[in-house]
Amino acid sequence: MQGTNPPTATGGAPLLSLRGIDKSFGPVQVLHGVDLDVRAGEVTALVGDNGAGKSTLVKCIAGIYTTDAGEYFFEGRRVQVHGPRDTAELGIEVVYQDLALCDNLDIVQNMFLGREEKKGVLLDEPTMEEMARQTLASLSVRTVRSVRQLVSSLSGGQRQTVAIAKAVLWNSKVVLLDEPTAALGVAQTRQVLDLVRRLADNGLGVVLISHNLNDVFEVADNITALYLGRAAATVRTKDVTSSQVVELITAGRSGDMGIIDTSATAAV
């Protein structure tokens, strides 16, 4: 792994680049020199088996974990990330699996939670509602009827939609989605995948963490497979088959792709 080289990649300069990320928890090294590129307008899928380090990598990107080694580039500049506030300022938003919505608040209130628009000391509800409506309209959301519904009345897919809309409300540039379709039915998965695609079409860099290869092949432009804490390979979705990706996930390699040095995996 070449730690210090600036990111080079195919298909335009990446919005977000990680180079040689190491992360250990005590004696256990979870990430070994991971590289990752996220480009504007593309969906990058992050796949890997349980324990491959997907969630750890996401939390490193989000600034929740500090990395032990490696470099973090944003829009070509090297940046230091010390916490979630830093990444939020850069325009990186994470939609976690458990969504973190308040059931007792409505959609607008949830989308602006903690960042309310104010007029003096009072809340500026009309402006917030307008901005929420514009955001949902820009994502062509057709499944939400009224932005003044309580979140408790929404279906799983609608909740996911609200959580994603909340993430893009702040002109964010990169959105990370942690298993957005894990708990959804067929129709709702469809809606959310459409939404994921639209995020990228609107020019955002999207990272999709998923176990479901059907979803990945449907919306992702690139796939980065993690294998035991290493980035086994980053491939264009159109260049690979599903079974090749399965091999990358389960064995770390497939044909001439993947980790060549098998002794490295033995050390884990």
CB closer to another protein, 183 vs 251: 183
Asked if residue 146 binds another protein (CB under 8 A), the reply is: yes
Binding residues among 184-213 for another protein as defined by CB under 8 A: 187, 190
Asked if residue 129 binds another protein (CB under 8 A), the reply is: yes
Residue 130 beta carbon to another protein: minimum distance, rounded to whole angstroms: 6
Query: Which residues are CB-contacts of 232 (< 8 A; sequence separation ≥ 6)?
Result: 225, 226, 248, 249, 252, 253, 257, 258, 259
Cα angle for residues 218, 39, 248 (degrees, 5° grid) = 55
Please provide the size of the chain in residues: 268
CB closer to another protein, 15 vs 204: 204
Instruction: Count CB neighbours of 118 within 10 A.
Output: 10
CB closer to another protein, 94 vs 231: 94
Residue 184 beta carbon to another protein: minimum distance, rounded to whole angstroms: 13
DSSP H or E run through 92: strand 92-95
Piece of 8-16, 45-53, 142-150, 245-253 that binds another protein (CB under 8 A)? 142-150
Asked if residue 102 binds another protein (CB under 8 A), the reply is: yes
Give the residue, chosen from 68, 75, 130, 218, that forms a contact with another protein under the rule CB under 8 A: 130
Spatial distance between the Cα atoms of 230 and 219, rounded to a whole number of angstroms: 23
Do 89 and 23 contact (CB within 8 A), yes or no?
A: no
Site string for another protein, 66-95 (x = CB under 8 A): -------------------x----------
Residue 37 beta carbon to another protein: minimum distance, rounded to whole angstroms: 27
CB closer to another protein, 145 vs 236: 145
Query: Which residues are CB-contacts of 165 (< 8 A; sequence separation ≥ 6)?
Result: 111, 132, 135, 136, 139, 141
Distances (CA, A) of 10 to 37, 206, 237, 241: 10, 17, 13, 20
Spatial distance between the Cα atoms of 119 and 127, rounded to a whole number of angstroms: 10
Asked if residue 104 binds another protein (CB under 8 A), the reply is: yes
Instruction: Count CB neighbours of 193 within 10 A.
Output: 22
Asked if residue 214 binds another protein (CB under 8 A), the reply is: no
Chain contacts with another protein (rule: CB under 8 A): 85, 96, 98-105, 109, 113-116, 118, 121-123, 125-126, 129-130, 132-134, 136-148, 150-154, 187, 190
